Structure 1
Amino acid sequence: MADAPRFRIREIELYERPVVLRLPFRFGVVTLRECPQAFARARIELADGASAWGAAAEMMAPKWFDKNLQLSNEDNFDQLRDVLRMAREAYLSDAAPATAFGHFARHHGGHLAAAQARGFNPLLASYGPALIDRAVLDALCRSRGASFAQALRGNLPGMGAAHPEFAPFDFDAFLARLQPSGSIEARHTVGMIDAITAADAHERVNDGLPETLEEVIAAWGHRYFKLKVGGQIDADLARLEAIAAVLDRLPHPYFASLDGNEQYSDAAGVAELVAGLRARPALARLWQSILFIEQPIARKLALQADLRGAQLGKPVIIDESDGELGTFVQARERGYAGVSSKTCKGFYKSVLNAARCARWNAEAGEPRYFMSAEDLTTQAGLSVQQDLALVNLLGIAHVERNGHYYVNGMAAQPQAEQDAFLAAHPDLYERSHGAVRLRIAGGRIALGSLQCTGFASGAMPDFAAMTRLA
């Protein structure tokens, strides 16, 4: 950390472009068919006067950051635009030099307070800094000719005592121990209205890409799955039986997570679902394959529920409840065993929670606490690459991926942009069905090319083709 460079943030540009889904994606209380993707560019100025640009991207998913049903999807998009603008204003308001982490720490509390004054919850508020922090780190990596893994392992951002939540940890030592892998398992999302077999696919897209769970497995060879449930016990169990009928045909072991998407009001409701799963012979193998249950209880109630006495049979993690830097600590006290990593919540938070898991497990003498890697329909390009690089470095062995399934790869992007990303990352992408798209083979994603200079990207999107946010 002593060598962490200090610099000024001179410019931040915000952009967006539309994303249209090839298949509708039902999660929680929303069916997603289209959604903007936000982009941030940041220019930093180092002590010697040299400048570098960096960038980041993230989907602006409605009804995830704020599930208020009185708000339209467009209202949710405007909220996300607002917190991006607020974060930009905060980061540009102080021209004093700081480390990358120092800039985050300097503005974190003030930004959350300003967002709260606007009625924005902490999860929503974090979206703005999450993009800008990644763009800033990308610029720093490029200025030093370092990859993301090299930068983090050497603590180039300067993570440490500048923020009190981080102060108890020796990040120099923790980060130095991290080692990226060459590939990662892709955990396929089965949304609440996704077709399971050909008989369920009533309105086919017929674009040659998989449209059912059966076709996904045949095309991409997945062994890991994320199964959405909707809070209606009988309907959930019937759907899980249909899914199990497909997964149980696999000749090799498979693994699954169960995502409640906040559809239960208390632990008793989750216990009822678990009891139903255990009671049905057709779900026996599926139950044995479940690794964890994700955020089953609504975020307003989740940390009031005490899971320590609940007989759920599987560890439970928080996702949408993870609004503040200290939330995982609170959740652990209520019996939760894990927390999700999502770049939209901030990569510094993910690293902090990984350090917590390492310490708590060392104290317990067993791997009791863990992080999962979840998806916000990350798109091909900066978004999916930065998320993959983060969770891979943190040692997470499998990651939920669904952006490649619900969206037709980079088909909507300029051809030159597609070509640039394919050339820079030929292991990560392939050209098929008329577009460059994420490559999954044998259920795994190759990650070697992410060890390039910058935050996991050897190419840049075409910002000139986007809409710039004032």
Structure 2
Amino acid sequence: MAKSTDIRVKEVRVYFLPVSTRVPLKFGVETLTEVTCVRVALRVEGRQGKSAEGWGETPLSVQWVWPSQLPYAERHEALKNFCKIVAGRWAEWSVWGHPMEIGHAFQQYALSDAWRTYNANRSGREMPWLAALVCCSAFDIALHDAYGRLHGVPTYETYTKDWMNLDLSAFLKAEPHRSGCFDNRYPADFLRYPRPETLPVWHLVGGLDWLDEADDDGSGPDDGYPVVLRDWIRRDGLKCLKVKLRGNDASWDYDRLIRVGQIAREEGALWLSADFNCTVHDPVYVTEILDRLLRDAPEVYAMLLYVEQPFPYELEEFPLNVRAVSARKPLFMDESAHDWTL
């Protein structure tokens, strides 16, 4: 049943903002030195005729959303072009509802159709579905922002039965033995109230990042900010470090975890995570590193809170049995979590 708080999209504007990184960021086999952010302004109207504008922005991280041997420039331009296509689809999208409902329907029909159409004549150069989702995410953020602005409430307070027409069973399919578990449940049921005012920051340690003074060759930026990990920990009081690994060089990955772990312990950081960025094709690669840490550096092993993406991006194409890894440490899925129907 429709609600008086429902909205629909009326106008869309798109901007592209080029950004150069302060230092190169290496993750997996890719290195990022620049990125384009897509910024979206989206105007909506309510059933009483009032309108409001919301904003959304996300980096078009080419290397992350589209790992490929294709030239960077080709992938970069393709993402920007697809954002323009998505903008056109949103401008034509006249579905009424709550942003969760509008966005879900758009993803199922308009976005998937635009993606398939775009790839129809790109044999061997197809854009991944993850890339399409990231392009669309800025529009989705703007939609939710506009909804809260229209009604003068924090958007996160609207993910309830009072504001939404559909419960979670419309978006998620339960396993047969849990049938009905999403009935009359809403996103707010899984959010923490009152919201925490502080959260621990995970500082990303890139594959090219300098760790201590021994790495500093004097070529780093002279802008008043730290250039080595040890100084970042001291300056910001960091407690959690996310370590980007190669996934194809076990010796380097092990040594990197050891060095970061030692610096973390010396400077008072508490937790580490190991991110393999979809480069691992055999779980044994990961379990051998973990077992070596447990045997030779148990204090570093104990600091390792979870392991991220120890499997390829394309889970359907390259399924891996990672139970041996999860028996040692919790697993975190990132890039591969783009299709919950798998």
Q: What TM-score do you get using the length of structure 1 for normalisation?
A: 0.64
| CA displacement 1:75-105 (0-9 Å, x = unmatched) | 2222322332232222222324333222212
Q: Give the secondary-structure state (helix, strand or coil) at the position aligned to 1:249.
A: helix
| CA displacement 1:334-375 (0-9 Å, x = unmatched) | xxxxxxxxxxxxxxxxxxxxxxxxxxxxxxxxxxxxxxxxxx
Deviation of residue 300 (structure 1)? Answer: 2.4
Identical pairs, percent: 23
Q: Does 1:235 find its partner at 2:252?
A: yes
Partner of 1:277: 293
Aligned in 2, Cα 1:165/1:86: closer, same or farther, shift over 3 Å? Answer: farther
Partner of 2:186: 171
The answer to whether the 8 Å contact 1:230/1:236 transfers is yes
- Equivalences, count: 323
Partner of 1:132: 139
Structure 1 distance, partners of 2:326, 2:289, is 11
Structure 1: stretches of 5+ with no match in the other structure: 331-470
Aligned ranges for residues 82-101 of structure 1 at < 5 Å?
A: 82-101=81-100
Aligned in 2, Cα 1:256/1:13: closer, same or farther, shift over 3 Å? Answer: same
Equivalent of residue 143 in structure 1, options 130, 150, 160: 150
Deviation of residue 120 (structure 1)? Answer: 2.5
The answer to whether the 8 Å contact 1:152/1:175 transfers is no
Moved more, 60-69 or 309-318: 309-318
User: Greater Rg, structure 1 or structure 2?
Assistant: 2
Aligned in 2, Cα 1:155/1:242: closer, same or farther, shift over 3 Å? Answer: farther
The answer to whether the 8 Å contact 2:160/2:186 transfers is no
Structure 1 distance, partners of 2:234, 2:149, is 39
Q: Does 1:77 find its partner at 2:76?
A: yes
Moved more, 300-309 or 38-47: 300-309
Q: Give the secondary-structure state (helix, strand or coil) at the position aligned to 2:115.
A: helix
Q: Give the secondary-structure state (helix, strand or coil) at the position aligned to 1:54.
A: strand
Deviation of residue 263 (structure 1)? Answer: 1.7
Aligned in 2, Cα 1:310/1:200: closer, same or farther, shift over 3 Å? Answer: closer
Q: Does 1:214 find its partner at 2:230?
A: yes
Aligned in 2, Cα 1:146/1:173: closer, same or farther, shift over 3 Å? Answer: closer
Structure 2 distance, partners of 1:27, 1:296, is 13
The answer to whether the 8 Å contact 2:161/2:167 transfers is no
Partner of 2:56: 56
Alignment-mate amino acid for residue 322 of structure 1: A
Deviation of residue 68 (structure 1)? Answer: 0.8
Deviation of residue 245 (structure 1)? Answer: 2.4
Structure 1 distance, partners of 2:25, 2:138, is 24
Aligned in 2, Cα 1:6/1:84: closer, same or farther, shift over 3 Å? Answer: same
Partner of 2:208: 193
The answer to whether the 8 Å contact 1:153/1:177 transfers is no
Aligned ranges for residues 294-313 of structure 1 at < 5 Å?
A: 294-301=308-315, 304-310=319-325, 313=328
The answer to whether the 8 Å contact 1:105/1:162 transfers is no
Structure 2 distance, partners of 1:12, 1:121, is 24
Structure 2 distance, partners of 1:292, 1:99, is 35
Aligned in 2, Cα 1:154/1:218: closer, same or farther, shift over 3 Å? Answer: farther
Aligned ranges for residues 354-365 of structure 1 at < 5 Å?
A: none
Structure 1 distance, partners of 2:162, 2:16, is 31
Deviation of residue 134 (structure 1)? Answer: 1.0
| CA displacement 1:119-142 (0-9 Å, x = unmatched) | 322211111331111101111101
Task: For CA contacts below 8 A with separation 6 or more, give which structure has more relative contact order.
Answer: 1
The answer to whether the 8 Å contact 1:12/1:42 transfers is yes
How much is the aligned-residue C-alpha RMSD, in angstroms?
A: 2.5
Aligned in 2, Cα 1:52/1:311: closer, same or farther, shift over 3 Å? Answer: closer
Aligned in 2, Cα 1:195/1:102: closer, same or farther, shift over 3 Å? Answer: same
Partner of 2:108: 109
Q: Give the secondary-structure state (helix, strand or coil) at the position aligned to 1:205.
A: coil
Partner of 1:33: 33
Q: What TM-score do you get using the length of structure 2 for normalisation?
A: 0.86
Deviation of residue 273 (structure 1)? Answer: 1.9
Q: Give the secondary-structure state (helix, strand or coil) at the position aligned to 1:179.
A: coil
Q: Does 1:247 find its partner at 2:264?
A: yes
Structure 2 distance, partners of 1:162, 1:285, is 44
The answer to whether the 8 Å contact 2:233/2:267 transfers is no
The answer to whether the 8 Å contact 1:80/1:127 transfers is no
Structure 2 distance, partners of 1:311, 1:148, is 35
The answer to whether the 8 Å contact 1:20/1:35 transfers is yes
The answer to whether the 8 Å contact 2:283/2:324 transfers is no
The answer to whether the 8 Å contact 1:265/1:301 transfers is no
The answer to whether the 8 Å contact 1:201/1:212 transfers is yes
Q: Does 1:314 find its partner at 2:329?
A: yes
Structure 1 distance, partners of 2:187, 2:168, is 11
Q: Does 1:292 find its partner at 2:299?
A: no
Deviation of residue 59 (structure 1)? Answer: 0.9
| CA displacement 1:395-454 (0-9 Å, x = unmatched) | xxxxxxxxxxxxxxxxxxxxxxxxxxxxxxxxxxxxxxxxxxxxxxxxxxxxxxxxxxxx
Structure 1 distance, partners of 2:308, 2:233, is 23
